[in-house]
Amino acid sequence: MTTKNKAVFLDRDGVLNEEIGTYVWQPENFVICPGVPESLARLKAAGYYLIVVTNQAGIAKGLYTAAEVRACHAKLQAACGGLLDALYFADAHPSVSESILRKPNSGMLEKAIARFNLDPAKCWIVGDRLRDMEAGTAVGVRGILVGEEEVEFLPCVADLRAATDIILAV
């Protein structure tokens, strides 16, 4: 039997890049949060796959294109030294189309679990919304919530640096 791998699933807006209160699809407005490259390097050094899982409803709404999302992801990869193993995005929105990929559904996580032979019990999801936590819970992945919202039974932290400290302490 092969050993299963571990990963950290990362929401994008509000965790990896600054939340600006609207859709972030232009690379010039895509600002990486402080400490993100260093945190990702620490997680990668500890043997975690790093997988971005982000809802991008603006594509379904016709506000921007998948190519523009990929340009932001290229900027993120460049800033982080290419440490991200996969960048998944759900391009649906309930007002336009349904998708099992869109969080709180777990399709993006399921794709990565299969692709990278992951053990969900060894994985984490770091996000800034309850829908991120719901996607993780659906497949047995522990969650850490970033931001102001306090949720009972969940670690709630200020940023990815603090989430990284929790993950690496376990």
Active site residues: 11, 13
Q: Which helix (H) or strand (E) holds 7?
A: strand 6-10
- Tokens representing residue 42 in the block: 């620490």
b/e per residue 80-111 (b: at least 16 CB within 10 A): beebbbbbbbbbbbeeeeebebbbebbbbbbb
For helices 36-45 and 160-169, give the axis angle rounded to 10 degrees. 20
Residues 116 and 51 sit within 8 Å (Cβ to Cβ): yes
Cis preceding linkage at 120, omega within 30 = no
Give the type of residue at 31: V
Those residues whose C-beta lies under 8 Å from the C-beta of residue 158, and which sit 6 or more positions away, are 146, 147
